[in-house]
Structure 1
Amino acid sequence: MAMRCSALSHSLLPARKAVTLLLLVGALLSTLITPGYGQNTPARTGTVERIKVHGKGLEGNLAGDSPDRDVSIYLPPSYKTDKKRRYPVIYFLHGFTDSDDKWYGLTKHWISLPAVVDKALAEGKTKEFIIVTPNAYNRYFGSMYSNSVTIGNWEDYVAKELVAYIDKNYRTIPQAASRGLAGHSMGGYGTIRIGQKHPEIFSSLYLLSPCCLIPGTNGPGSPEMATRLEGIKTQGELEKADFFTKAMFASAASWSPNPSQAPFYLDLPVKDGQPQPMVTAKWTANAPLATLDQYVSNIRQLRALAFDAGSKDVSIAANIKVLDGMLTNYQIPHTYEEYDGDHINRIAERIEQKMLPFFTGSLAGEGVRIGRK
């Protein structure tokens, strides 16, 4: 009997081993689907650094703004661990009255760019990039990313000084094919303004609801507006002014500076109630759609160009339609879209679903490795 029991036990050993194996497999599968592991493992997130980058061309600006500019930088999840990896860079320009800290979640705002990028990475919609945003908020609430003795040489700062600093201090891929330029509103304007002049620095451009593209759209508009403009005599009054009045002063500081006209050091497009044709001409000379014909050969050198705007953002949607027509006329490849939205309500979605995939496809060199840190 004992022998029979022993034999029976011996005969059950393979089955017991099979059961044990099944239990082990089951335990492993249970571990993999436990929150915090496997398919539910929380996505790694990038990190944000905020530094200061000096602008030689910003020194001595008549507005009195510091040439030492805050710059927010998004470093992708692998940047801190993969020390031999270099990354493409997206230079992202913020809009009028905005600042870098608002866009990077450091100050409460309607968008957090790092959160948008982390979400896109988690959903597999983008490759990893370094993203760089300078703080262009100044005495006039925005620089228009232009060169002026009043505000300093912002165009040169972005295209040359900032790029050189980032390439020197971060593990970038220091070539135009691996640099993109993008921006929202005033930043979209800065993107096409700078991008159409510097294909040797930026190879791909994405404009989100770009302002100020067409001549005449920034003028005083009405006698009442002209009166309000001329009524501003002090910085305190400018601080309390409406958005459009502030935009007029920012445009004048950027495009019609005047070093003899204290305290603002600018010429407005109206004086004593009369339009100023020379100021209007200067503003027109800074409108990208008025100058695009001069830069067609540069634009043809770009690897990729895209722009969009919400249909409820009526004037901007109309302006990018003109841009689409001009580029089509020159047979320059580009992507253009008008979507259901306003100036800000779907920008996070557009960045996640359109802009980041655009740069994923257009910027070269993701994952290039080097022999030094």
Structure 2
Amino acid sequence: MPSPYQHFNLHSPSLAYNLLQDTPERETLVYLPSSYQTEPDRRYPVIYLLHGFGGTAKGWFSEQPGEPSLHQTMAQLIATKQVEEMIIVVPENSTRFTCTGYNNNDVQGHWLDFICHDLVNAIETEYRCLGGAKHRALMGHSSGADAVLKTLFYKPGFFQHAFAMSPANLHSDDAVFFKQLFSDNHAALMQAAQGELAIEQLDVWQHLIICRLQHALPDVNNPPLYCRFPEQESDWQQLATHAFNCVIPTHGQHLKDVNIAIDIGSQEDTHQSCLNLVKQFNQSGVAVELFEFDGGHVDHMGKSLAYVLPWLSRALTSTD
């Protein structure tokens, strides 16, 4: 059976020289519509799909009972004329700390620049794409959904359409939650900071904490974690400034001309926080369409594609 995607590798200048020594050589999986080979003069809109913590690019193409894959869903949606043919690009964003935090900094590398500059330029050079922001869409799940919103906030003008699936960065404004999470994991984090516990032995939650600290409280002279731990109230406040509800007042104007949708599961512990975020967006003049589903954080990803992809297809074709 032929592969549902092509492998495309690129070197990212934006990720070179990161202090964590994660490779700037990035594998990317590219789904091409069936007409790509038979219509050599045709160009296509592009969706860029970002995976989350603990996920992989290949995971979106895995075929599991009850959890439809990306290519299977696209085949069905095209057959039923619910989507137009599109190119879908899924970069592999795993790092030494499980997955990138999708930030721009010297510790982790400049991941937002990787998405907007290195990745987009490489894909539009290699493949027959309709260029320009109006023909590009960005989608992601969990921390990949966080990346969608971060990109719109901090790198405006690159994507006109975006879908954030179950964003994860919704506890950052909850000091009690993050303080408890940090306290529960403090012993392991201290061992890792002192070189007594290998980074690879830390779990996903501990990697996530470190990732947040590397961005909010970086310390480039403090390997192997390259961050400092919160010690006083101002440190916790610094962490909170990166929460989306704090960013909307200063950067929300960048999203006003973008087609945006967000979904959240009724069983996710961030459900109410997400509803509050969408309400804040809409009150600030940023129109966001909300989708709610009956499920949790990771048990509905494939099923959600049945409405995410048609929504993005409609947004992309409405600009023609």
Instruction: Answer yes or no: same fold by TM over 0.5.
Output: yes
Contact preservation (8 Å) 1:176, 1:199: no
**Aligned amino acid, residue 362 of structure 1:** A
- Tell me: CA distance 1:72–1:282, structure 2 relative to 1, closer, same or farther (3 Å): farther
Contact preservation (8 Å) 2:137, 2:162: yes
- Tell me: CA distance 1:151–1:203, structure 2 relative to 1, closer, same or farther (3 Å): same
Q: Distance in 2 between matches of 1:234 and 1:107?
A: 39
- Tell me: CA distance 1:266–1:106, structure 2 relative to 1, closer, same or farther (3 Å): farther
Identity across aligned pairs (percent)? 25
The reply on whether 1:219 has 2:178 as its aligned counterpart is yes
Q: Distance in 2 between matches of 1:69 and 1:326?
A: 36
The equivalences for 1:183-198 within 5 A come to 183-198=140-155
The reply on whether 1:348 has 2:302 as its aligned counterpart is yes
- Tell me: CA distance 1:145–1:106, structure 2 relative to 1, closer, same or farther (3 Å): farther
The reply on whether 1:280 has 2:240 as its aligned counterpart is no
**Aligned amino acid, residue 73 of structure 2:** V
For structure 1, the 5+ residue unaligned runs are 1-44, 270-274, 369-373
Equivalent residue number for residue 266 of structure 2: 311
Q: Distance in 1 between matches of 2:63 and 2:98?
A: 18
Secondary structure of the residue aligned to 1:191 is helix
The one-character-per-residue Cα deviations of 1:246-295 (angstroms, maximum 9, x if unpaired) are: 211222234433211112222233xxxxx344543443232222111112
The one-character-per-residue Cα deviations of 1:198-220 (angstroms, maximum 9, x if unpaired) are: 34110011010011135345724
Contact preservation (8 Å) 1:189, 1:211: yes
Return the match for 1:202 from 159, 162, 165: 159
Secondary structure of the residue aligned to 2:163 is strand
- Tell me: CA distance 1:235–1:209, structure 2 relative to 1, closer, same or farther (3 Å): farther
The reply on whether 1:262 has 2:223 as its aligned counterpart is yes
**Normalised by the size of structure 1, how large is the TM-score?**
0.77
Equivalent residue number for residue 228 of structure 1: 188
The equivalences for 1:1-373 within 5 A come to 47-105=4-62, 112-217=69-174, 219-221=178-180, 223-232=183-192, 233-234=194-195, 237-269=198-230, 275-302=231-258, 304-315=259-270, 317-352=271-306, 354-364=307-317
Contact preservation (8 Å) 2:166, 2:265: yes
Q: Distance in 2 between matches of 1:350 and 1:291?
A: 27
Contact preservation (8 Å) 2:139, 2:148: yes
The one-character-per-residue Cα deviations of 1:122-161 (angstroms, maximum 9, x if unpaired) are: 3322111111121111011111111121111001110121
Q: Distance in 1 between matches of 2:318 and 2:3?
A: 19
Q: By how many angstroms is 1:242 displaced?
A: 3.0
The one-character-per-residue Cα deviations of 1:31-61 (angstroms, maximum 9, x if unpaired) are: xxxxxxxxxxxxxx99411121111111111
The one-character-per-residue Cα deviations of 1:224-243 (angstroms, maximum 9, x if unpaired) are: 33333223344854323333
Q: Distance in 1 between matches of 2:196 and 2:6?
A: 32
**Aligned amino acid, residue 348 of structure 1:** G
Q: By how many angstroms is 1:115 displaced?
A: 2.3
For structure 2, the 5+ residue unaligned runs are none
Q: Distance in 2 between matches of 1:305 and 1:216?
A: 22
Q: Distance in 1 between matches of 2:159 and 2:138?
A: 6
Q: Distance in 1 between matches of 2:191 and 2:208?
A: 15
Q: Give me the CA root mean square deviation.
A: 2.6
- Tell me: CA distance 1:74–1:258, structure 2 relative to 1, closer, same or farther (3 Å): same
Secondary structure of the residue aligned to 1:363 is helix
Q: By how many angstroms is 1:337 displaced?
A: 2.4
Contact preservation (8 Å) 2:104, 2:111: yes
The range that moved more, 258-267 or 59-68, is 258-267
Instruction: Give the aligned length.
Output: 315
Q: Distance in 2 between matches of 1:55 and 1:282?
A: 29
